[in-house]
Amino acid sequence: MSARTGPVEEAPASGVGRVVVWSPDYLSYRWSPQHPMNPNRLELTMDLAQGLGLMEGVEVVRPDAASDVELLRIHTPAYVEAVKHAGSRDAGDLPPEVATRHGLGTEDNPVFPRMHEASAILAGGTLAAAQQIASGHARRAVSIGGGMHHAMADWASGFCVYNDVAIAISWLLDNGFDRIAYIDIDAHHGDGVQHAFFGDPRVLTISIHQHPATLWPNTGWSSEIGAGAAEGTAINLPVLPGTVDSLWLRGFHAVVPAAVAAFRPQIVISQCGADNHREDPLADLALTVDGQRAAYLAMRDLADRYAEGRWLAVGGGGYGLVRVVPRSWTHLIASVLDREIDLGTATPEAWREKAHAIVPSVDPPTTMGEAADTSFMRWDGPGGTPETGVASTDRALTRIDSAVIATRRATFPLLGLDPEDPRD
150 is catalytic: yes
Distances (CA, A) of 275 to 71, 96, 116, 186, 287: 26, 31, 25, 6, 9
Question: If DSSP states are collapsed to H, E and C, what string results for the chain?
Answer: CCCCCCCECCCCCCCCCEEEECCHHHHHCCCCCCCCCCCHHHHHHHHHHHHCCCCCCCEEECCCCCCHHHHCCCCCHHHHHHHHHHHCCCHHHCCHHHHHHHCCCCCCCCCCCCHHHHHHHHHHHHHHHHHHHHCCCCCEEEECCCCCCCCCCCCCECCECCCHHHHHHHHHHCCCCCCEEEEECCCCCCHHHHHHCCCCCCEEEEEEEECCCCCCCCCCCCCCCCCHHHCCCEEEEEECCCCEHHHHHHHHHHHHHHHHHHHCCCEEEEECCCCCECCCCCCCCEECHHHHHHHHHHHHHHHHHHCCCCEEEECCCCCCCCCCHHHHHHHHHHHHHCCCECCCCECCHHHHHHHHHHCCCCCCCCECCCCCCCCCCCCCCCCCCHHHCCCCCCHHHHHHHHHHHHHHHHHHHHHCCCCCCCCC
Q: How far apart are alpha carbons 275 and 259 in whole angstroms?
A: 24
Q: Which of 102, 149, 150, 331 is catalytic?
A: 150
Q: How far apart are CA 235 and CA 204, in angstroms?
A: 8
CB distance 219 to 368 below 8 Å: no
- Compute the distance between CA of residue 248 and CA of residue 401 in angstroms, rounded to an integer: 10
Supply the residues annotated as catalytic.
150
